[in-house]
Every structure is written in structure tokens, then in C-alpha cells.
């Protein structure tokens, strides 16, 4: 019979769907009876979803982009591009 | 694994928006419509515009990865160095992985090298010890001090308080590098588990433990904030 500590240990794997069928069943039986663990699992899922919404935006600062492009121009290793750039 | 007190790390930088959207007027095709295969083709051909498009598309996520591993202070330098490697080594790219994953691996390797130089290893050897919740179970393994309820069940509403966001920044900064790296890449950047393991050179089992322990630390932070209004 699963205990609360087991739910605490396995909650992330439960949410990821990484547990065996028998483990999932044991956890679900415990969750049916334990409101504390239901809350714990709910909070873990809520946190993971909230973090995703607070992710850093996907664009780099313009100054960094400019430095990267300037570095590429200064680097002589890259072969010259085509006469008419396809992009 | 040593604790996360990296010199020069400023904990208020995790969530600052890192730049407005840019569209370079010289790019004939909107950047978001250029396929990865086309980008690779252009990069290998030495196209300046392909390089510009690739930087515009991938520098942001690469910066997030660098920040996840070493913190914000040195992340931009790592990304800049990574792009030097990219345009020198693109000829060796054989598309065994996606271009995105290849780029992430380059920047992660650069970040990990920086950690090694500062004698802070990003390894799985030092897996976390007891969970922050370890003392909240009785001898029979049941909650003796169960987690408090939170004021919201909505992801939109959970981390909105400015004070809680500051707590989040502080806790991310104090987290061991390996835990922070896995958490940020998986839960904030949305990389797949396989991608995270590939980029950070971790086994899935170790990565799962690191992610879970990082999440538990943040959960305990929210518990405390919900009860006291402080970090």
C-alpha cells in the first residue's frame, strides 16, 4: 500500500506518465483516500505549468545579436557567401 | 556539486524580458517561415542572411540555456562564443539531431566548461540529499505536517505576485546548478526530457531526480509564501 512519502517521491514521474501500470494504480488508490496527497500532486502540476508561463521570452537582446553578427563578420574562417544571397 | 553561489550572479535577472521582437529588413523571407533545413543549407553555403536569421531565431533560447547553467552574469559571453563555434563548425553538422538541439549542445558545453574553470562541476554525481519535505512525514510515512492550500488553482494566478516572483528568482539563484539547469530547461523552456538529457549529458534517471528535487524546493517556497507572505 502506497504511503504519502511514496507519493511525494513519485509525483513528478506520475505527472510525466513514466510509471508502470501497477505503480500508477497503487498511487491512484492512495490518492482516492488522501486529500493531502491529492493537494500535493495538484500543487506540483500547477507549479510546473506556472513556470512554463514565466519562461524567459525567446528573443535575445538586440545588442547581443549585433555583437554576434559583428563577430561573424570579423571572423575570416567563413567562406564568402554566394553573389546573390538566397535569403 | 557545490552550492550555487556563483560569483557575479545577480538573482533579479531571471525574468527580465530579454529583448523586443526584431525583424531584420534585409531578410526577404519572414524568419519564422524559413525551415530549419533551409537555414542549415544557407549556413553551410556561408550565407550572411542565413546566419542572421539563425541568430535571430536561436540566440534567445541559447541564452536561456546558458543562464540556466551558469546564471545571468556570464550567459551572453557564452552565447557569443557559441556562435563563433557554430559558424566555424557548421560544415561538420550532419543533421543527426535538429539544428536547435545541436546549437543547444554547443552553448551548454560552453557553459559547463565555464563551470569547470571556476571549479563548479555540473554533474549528476552529487545528487540532492533529503527532500525539503523530509521532516513533514511521520515514522509511518504519512504526512505529519501536510502542505498548505494555495490561494489559486490557476497557473496564470500562481506566480503573479511581485514578491513571489522575487522569491522565485532568489530560490533559482540559490539552487545547485544541475537542479536549476534541468528545471529551467524542462519546465521553463519546454525542452523535451530527451533534449535536456542530451544537452546536459545526464542520464534520464538522474535528470528525473534533479527535476523533482528542484520542483519540490520551489513548491516549499510557495508553501512558505502562501502562509507568511515572505520568501
pLDDT at A5 over 70: yes
**For the segment B7-47, what is each residue's pLDDT rounded down to a tens digit?**
333 333 444 333 433 333 344 566 667 889 999 999 999 89
- Residue B55's region, left for phi above 0, alpha for psi from -120 to 50, else beta, is alpha
Any chain A CB within 8 A of the CB of B162?
no
Of residues A52, A65, A77, nearest to B88 (C-beta): A77
For A63-80, the pLDDT digits (tens) are: 999 999 998 877 755 445
Q: Does B29 touch chain A (CB under 8 A)?
A: yes
Q: CB distance B59–A65 less than 8 Å?
A: yes
- What is the distance between the alpha carbons of residues B217 and B102, in angstroms, rounded to a whole number? 30
Give tens-digit pLDDT for B181-196. Answer: 899 889 987 888 888 8
pLDDT tier at B86, thresholds 50, 70, 90: very high
| CA-atom Rg of chain A in angstroms | 25
Residue pairs between chains A and B whose CB atoms are closer than 8 Å: 188
Between chains, do A60 and B79 touch, taking CB under 8 Å as contact?
Answer: yes
Query: What's the pLDDT tens digit per position in B119-151?
Result: 665 555 456 667 889 889 999 999 999 999 998
Q: What is the ipTM of this complex?
A: 0.77
- pLDDT per residue as tens digits for the range B194-206: 888 888 888 999 9
Contact A64, B80 (CB under 8 A): yes
Which residue, A58, A54, A9, A53, is CA-closest to B65? A58
pTM of the entire predicted model: 0.72
Question: Which of A56, A69, A81 to substitute to test the interface with B, most B CBs within 10 Å?
Answer: A56
Residue B28: how many other CB atoms lie within 10 Å? 10
Share of chain B above pLDDT 90, in %: 32
Stretch among A22-26, B142-146, B174-178 having the lowest mean pLDDT: B174-178
Please tell me which of the candidates A40, A71, A77 has its beta carbon nearest to residue B147: A40
pLDDT at B28: 55
- How many Å lie between the alpha carbon of A24 and the closest alpha carbon of chain B? 17
- Band (B53; pLDDT cuts 50, 70, 90): very high
* HEC string for B104-156: HHHHHHHHHHHHHHCCCCCCCCCCCCCCCCHHHECCCCCECCCCCCCCCCCHH
Mutation target for A interface from B134, B147, B168, B194: give the one with most A CBs within 10 A.
B147
Interchain contact B52–A (C-beta under 8 A):
yes
Give the DSSP letter of residue B135.
G
B43 near B90, Cβ under 8 Å?
Answer: yes
The 3 state secondary structure assigned to A28-53 is: HHHHHHCHHHHHHHHHHHHHHHHHHH
Averaged confidence pLDDT in chain B: 79
* pLDDT confidence bin for B89, thresholds 50/70/90: very high
B213 pLDDT more than 80 = yes
Interface contact A3-B140, CB threshold 8 A? yes
Amino acid at each position: 500500500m502506497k504511503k504519502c512519502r511514496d507519493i511525494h517521491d513519485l509525483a513528478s514521474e506520475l505527472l510525466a506518465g513514466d510509471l508502470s501500470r501497477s505503480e500508477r494504480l497503487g498511487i491512484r488508490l492512495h490518492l482516492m483516500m488522501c486529500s493531502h496527497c491529492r493537494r500535493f500532486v495538484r500543487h506540483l502540476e500547477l507549479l510546473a505549468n506556472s513556470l512554463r508561463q514565466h519562461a524567459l521570452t525567446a528573443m535575445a537582446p538586440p545588442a547581443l545579436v549585433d555583437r554576434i553578427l559583428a563577430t561573424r563578420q570579423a571572423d575570416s574562417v567563413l567562406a564568402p557567401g554566394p553573389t546573390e544571397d538566397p535569403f | 556539486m557545490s552550492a550555487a553561489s556563483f560569483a557575479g550572479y545577480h538573482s533579479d535577472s531571471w525574468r527580465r524580458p530579454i529583448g523586443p521582437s526584431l525583424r531584420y529588413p534585409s531578410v526577404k523571407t519572414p524568419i519564422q517561415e524559413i525551415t530549419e533545413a533551409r537555414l542549415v543549407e544557407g549556413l553551410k553555403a556561408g550565407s550572411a542572411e542565413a546566419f542572421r536569421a539563425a541568430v535571430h531565431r536561436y540566440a534567445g533560447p541559447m541564452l536561456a540555456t546558458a543562464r540556466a547553467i551558469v546564471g545571468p552574469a556570464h550567459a551572453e559571453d557564452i552565447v557569443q562564443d557559441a556562435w563563433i563555434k557554430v559558424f566555424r563548425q557548421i560544415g561538420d553538422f550532419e543533421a543527426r539531431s535538429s539544428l536547435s538541439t545541436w546549437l543547444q549542445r554547443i552553448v551548454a558545453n560552453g557553459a559547463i566548461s565555464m563551470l569547470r574553470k571556476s571549479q563548479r562541476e555540473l554533474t549528476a554525481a552529487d545528487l540532492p540529499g533529503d527532500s525539503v519535505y523530509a521532516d513533514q512525514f511521520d515514522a509511518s510515512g504519512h504526512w505529519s505536517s501536510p502542505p498548505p492550500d494555495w490561494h489559486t488553482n490557476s497557473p496564470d494566478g500562481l506566480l503573479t505576485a511581485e514578491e513571489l516572483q522575487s522569491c522565485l528568482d532568489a530560490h533559482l539563484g540559490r539552487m545547485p546548478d544541475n537542479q536549476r539547469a534541468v528545471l529551467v530547461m524542462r519546465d521553463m523552456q519546454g525542452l523535451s526530457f530527451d533534449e535536456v538529457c542530451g544537452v546536459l549529458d545526464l542520464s534520464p534517471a538522474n535528470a528525473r531526480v534533479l527535476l523533482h528535487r528542484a520542483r519540490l524546493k520551489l513548491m516549499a517556497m510557495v508553501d512558505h509564501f502562501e502562509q507568511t507572505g515572505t520568501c
